[in-house]
Amino acid sequence: AQTVTQSQPEMSVQEAETVTLSCTYDTSENNYYLFWYKQPPSRQMILVIRQEAYKQQNATENRFSVNFQKAAKSFSLKISDSQLGDTAMYFCAFMKHKSYDKVIFGPGTSLSVIP
Amino acid sequence: DVKVTQSSRYLVKRTGEKVFLECVQDMDHENMFWYRQDPGLGLRLIYFSYDVKMKEKGDIPEGYSVSREKKERFSLILESASTNQTSMYLCASSLRDGNQPQHFGDGTRLSIL
């Protein structure tokens, strides 16, 4: 069975600084997808970034980028130039390369951006 | 934009009651999901559905059932509510293509007294 681990329950970062959130996963699959979701306080969960396992190039979305290490089964999220609006719970998630399958979420990392 | 609407943001019920949580999506998504979210545990999948009248058990289906009579609506039912079902419940939907992310509703914070 697949598992997703986020070893940092809470993190903080100064505004405008860079922070990296860790995620590791366990799978025997070769093709799969990885996601980072963001859940601001009392607001809707939204997708931040996604990565297809067959792509070696790391995904980027504006200030958000990932460091995908397939052999190490590691998928960290880097947030550059942190903003107050980045304060949220961040969930790492894994999904096998099948249409009828479920997403496995990690326990989450609570990130606070400090002014 | 995809909109996933959950019928209530906050709900208070009593032990033993039958509780219905409703979820509607407006983007013709095939897949729909119900999760519960608890501190330190992340999101745990209760049930999901990949088509009308189809349902699959997730990781924690005990004490819950679901109904999907129409493509846009996915209902979660607590047959006889218990205090350990107090939680945040999140509904999500996605296209059948495995590459597509899930879109979430605002969540329902359910308290069972």
Residue pLDDT, tens place only, A68-112: 999 999 999 999 999 999 999 999 999 887 655 678 899 999 999
Name the minimum distance, in Å, from the CA of B95 to any CA of chain A: 9
**In chain B, which residue's Cα lies nearest the Cα of A41?**
B106
**Number of CB pairs, chain A paired with chain B, less than 8 A apart:** 53
Percent of chain A with pLDDT over 70: 97
Contact A101, B98 (CB under 8 A): yes
- B-chain residues near A108 (CB < 8 A): 42
CA distance A12 to chain B (A): 17
Nearest residue on chain A to B46, alpha-carbon basis: A102
> Residue B9 has what pLDDT?
92
Decide: B112 and B87 in contact? Cβ < 8 Å: no
A20 has which bridge partners?
A78
- What pLDDT, in 10s, does the model give residues B36-56? 999 888 899 999 999 999 999
The 10s digit of each residue's pLDDT in B52-85 is: 999 999 989 999 999 999 999 999 999 999 999 9
Bridge pairing between strands A32-39 and A88-96 = antiparallel
Cβ count near B21 (within 10 Å): 21
In chain A, which residue's Cα lies nearest the Cα of B2?
A46
CA R_g for chain B? 13
DSSP result, chain A: --EEE---SEEEEETT--EEE--EEE-S-SSEEEEEEEE-TTS--EEEEEEETT--SPPEETTEEEEEETTTTEEEEEE-S--GGG-EEEEEEEEES-TT-PEEE---EEEEEE-
Please tell me the distance in Å from A108's CA to the nearest CA on chain B. Answer: 6
* Cβ pair A98:B99 closer than 8 A: no
